[in-house]
Amino acid sequence: MSSPASRRGFFMAQLTLRVLAIGFTLSAIATMVTSAQSISIFGIDMQARYTYSSAFRFKVGADAVVCACSFMSLILVSALNHPKSNTGNYFYALLHDMVTMVLAISGCAAATAVGYVGRFGQSQTGWMAICDHMGKFCGKVMLSLLFSYLAFFSLFTLTIMAAYKLKSPAAME
């Protein structure tokens, strides 16, 4: 049987990681939504906004859903913390964390692919790099990606913790 101290430590780690995931996704959303830049090159006005890329819009949507799911999972974790809670419910926490983690990494992957082309271009298709001209925009997108990847790693850790809790002999009691 697990001790009250280890149960409390597990609960606090879960809460901390979920709050971190919420904070990281909110920061990622705020940074991406405010990433816009306008410049003029040889009299030609150019604008860069996150809304111009479907991958960046998807990332913002994915971050919003991950944030909402992480917030709702705080309720689930609080319910699972009670000594008389059904330990079989840890499976649902694992499933929830895994689905949320996959959504987070899919948003990161989509935005990273577009960001890579924006930063380095792709000469085979004639796509030119824009980050040498739109440094402010690219910097904010990169910061938003960093926050999203940090949220992903928080969720990844939660998934590992839930799997460990489900597999541990104390969870079967």
Is residue 173 pLDDT above 70, yes or no? Answer: no
How many residues are present in the chain?
A: 173
Q: Are 45 and 38 in contact (CB under 8 A)?
A: yes
Which residues are CB-contacts of 151 (< 8 A; sequence separation ≥ 6)?
20, 21, 24, 25, 28, 63, 66, 104
Give tens-digit pLDDT for 37-59. Answer: 887 878 888 888 888 899 999 99
Q: Give residue 106's identity as a one-letter amino acid code.
A: S
Q: What is the pLDDT of residue 1?
A: 47
| CATH level 2 (architecture), domain 4-32+49-167 | Up-down Bundle (1.20)
Q: Are 63 and 55 in contact (CB under 8 A)?
A: no
Q: What is the pLDDT of residue 76?
A: 82
Residues 73-91 have a mean pLDDT of: 77
Q: Are 38 and 47 in contact (CB under 8 A)?
A: yes
Most confident of 88-97, 103-112, 120-129: 103-112
**Greater pLDDT, 1 or 6:** 6
